[in-house]
Amino acid sequence: MTIAQSLLALGGIFLLACCSPGPVFLLIASTAADHGRAEGVRVALGVAAATFMWSSLTVMGLGAILASVVWAQAAIRLGAGIYLLWLGLGMIRSSLFGQTAPARISLSRKSAPAKGFIASATNPKALAFFGSAFALSAPLQPTLHYHLAAVTGLTVLSGIWHSLLAILFATPALQRGYQRMKRRIDLFVGAILVGLGGGMLVQGGRNR
């Protein structure tokens, strides 16, 4: 497999993984629909930064080390669980008790990139995904140029894909539909995030 073919395969695997709805998908969709395109894109850029971090760790060999250390996996799951619980409970509280729009927009502008980065960086599946994706698609003798191209390509792909997702959910039609059903959607998404967070806390506790 040539370097070009390896990069195409790696990008394809990454995009297929991105198509699977998860906490990052829900966060970008709800942020863009509620706060608009700019805030959704800011979350997407935070996710791209996390992609850069995970892919860099993988090509440096640190991803394999982290994946083999039980306490590190447990710490990541516990951190992810706490963060998802915090996000989910915040959405549930907002749906039940409401919150003034100016305060929420101000908070979103300050924290959107960080939310995207943390949601993606604390995904325990990232350890296994990046390690397996690079192993499956890498050429026989990966070079420094290949690693640099892979990290850059995945980061750009992540930024473009998740920004397009934000733009999609920020369209006027989807925004109007979201605003009409906002409380129910926030309650539903919040409950999913709480469930995912609780599950990660349980897994992290068992792996300690």
pLDDT tens-digit readout, 21-55: 778 888 898 889 888 899 999 999 999 999 999 88
The pLDDT confidence band at residue 119, using thresholds 50, 70 and 90, is confident
164 compared with 22, residue with greater pLDDT: 164
Q: What is the pLDDT of residue 191?
A: 85
Specify the 3-state DSSP secondary structure of 100.
coil
Distance CA 12, CA 3 (A): 14
The pLDDT confidence band at residue 67, using thresholds 50, 70 and 90, is low
Of the given ranges (46-55, 113-122, 176-185), which has the lowest mean pLDDT? 176-185
Count CB atoms within 10 A of the CB of residue 168. 15
* Start-end of H helices in 2-124: 3-18, 23-35, 37-59, 62-68, 70-97, 101-121
Distance CA 180, CA 20 (A): 26
Of the given ranges (6-15, 76-85, 136-145, 190-199), which has the lowest mean pLDDT? 76-85
Count CB atoms within 10 A of the CB of residue 152. 13
Q: Distance of alpha carbon 48 from its chain centroid, rounded?
A: 8
Distance CA 95, CA 29 (A): 16
- Planar angle of CA 72, 74, 79, nearest 5 degrees: 95
pTM for this one?
0.73
16 compared with 179, residue with greater pLDDT: 16
63 compared with 196, residue with greater pLDDT: 196
For the cut 80, the answer to whether the pLDDT of residue 179 exceeds it is: no
The token duo for 136 is 């499956």
